[in-house]
Amino acid sequence: MIIEMLYPELSNLYGDAANINYIKESCTDIKVIETHLGDSPLFLDEGKVDLVYRGTMTERGQELFIENLSKYIDELKNAIERGQHFLVTGNAVEVFGNYIIDKTGEKIDCLEVFEFHTERDILAKRFNSLYVGIFNEIKIVGFKSQFGHSFYEGEITPLFETLRGPGFNKNEHREGIHYKNFIGTYLLGPLLVLNPDFATCFMNQFGIADFKPAYYETAKAAYDLRLKQYLDEKTGFYY
């Protein structure tokens, strides 16, 4: 299995790269290739990589990401249509929408792959929250820390249905993007580590039927405890 990490120099905020490290710990036959700014993405060539990964960036990092990948916008859309696997976490999901607009009126054109937009106010307090959602009967736990909130503009299949916490925005129960083999979510950090059963479901897409997450018993015990705490109404969800 070959994983392409897209523009890793744009930062690894919140430990998002742990998702790929966890896959490497769990499988012996994993190769990770880094594509840097200015390089041609490997996923443009069909069959060259199995998974494309991108995690959280700074706001300036988002602009550089858009600037570099917009050169290949048609190829990107074609790759998604043919079923290329993408895992996109944190505010990286925002750049695949139509645009980002700031309270100051600044508008940043994005890649326009999916019909949604983001509203951002970097002058306001950062919005932090815990999260519980559901994916194919698997409960998902995680956390968010963001200046932006996204709003669906068309018929889009969400990745998660929210059980507790904010969805794609503070008033939305749906969360993320799930189109063919593209998965995008605002959830930060080591999403796969926090959700070992979801990690198994995710990796089964690649024909790894006997996949077992590394340190499964420990990860599952931590997940069970975290889920119990997050579902407890006494647990503060916003901080």
Q: How confident is the model at residue 35 (pLDDT cuts 50, 70, 90)?
A: very high
Assess contact for 69 and 43: CB atoms under 8 A: no
Per-residue pLDDT band for 239 (boundaries 50, 70, 90) equals: low
Pair of tokens at residue 150 = 């996204």
Torsion of CA 88, 128, 99, 174, to 10 degrees: 70
Question: Does the structure show a pLDDT above 70 at 106?
Answer: yes
Please give the share of the chain, as a percent, with pLDDT higher than 90.
Answer: 71
How many Å apart are CA 51 and CA 79, to the nearest integer? Answer: 11
Q: What is the pLDDT of residue 183?
A: 97
146 or 107, which is more confident? Answer: 107
pLDDT of residue 123: 66
Mean pLDDT (the chain, rounded): 92
Question: From CA 160, how far away is CA 157, in angstroms rounded?
Answer: 9
pLDDT value at position 92? 95
29-33, 39-43, 76-80, 231-235: least confidently modelled range? 231-235
Please, where are the H alpha helices in the chain? 18-26, 59-69, 73-81, 191-194, 196-204, 216-231
Closest CA to 113 of 135, 140, 84: 84
* Mean pLDDT, range 41-58, rounded to an integer: 94
Q: Which domains does the chain have, with CATH numbers?
A: 2-231 (3.40.50.880)
Q: Cα(174)–Cα(191) distance, rounded to whole angstroms?
A: 17
Over residues 179-199, the mean pLDDT reads 94
pLDDT digits (tens, 9 = 90+) for 205-233: 888 777 889 999 999 999 999 999 999 98
Rounded average pLDDT over 132-140: 96
Run of H or E residues at 143: strand 138-146
**Tokens 């930062």 label which residue?**
11
Q: What is the mean pLDDT of residues 131-155?
A: 93
Tokens representing 96 are 């695949």
Cα dist from 212 to 200, 215, 219, whole Å: 6, 9, 11
Least trusted range by pLDDT, from 36-50, 120-134, 148-162: 120-134
- Position 193 scores a pLDDT of 94
Unique residue bearing structure tokens 């194919």:
136
What strand order describes the sheet that includes 148-152? 107-109, 99-102, 116-120, 148-152
Average pLDDT (58-62) is 91
- Of 24-28, 156-160, 179-183, 185-189, least confident by mean pLDDT is 24-28
As a whole-number percent, the residues of the chain with pLDDT over 70 amount to: 97
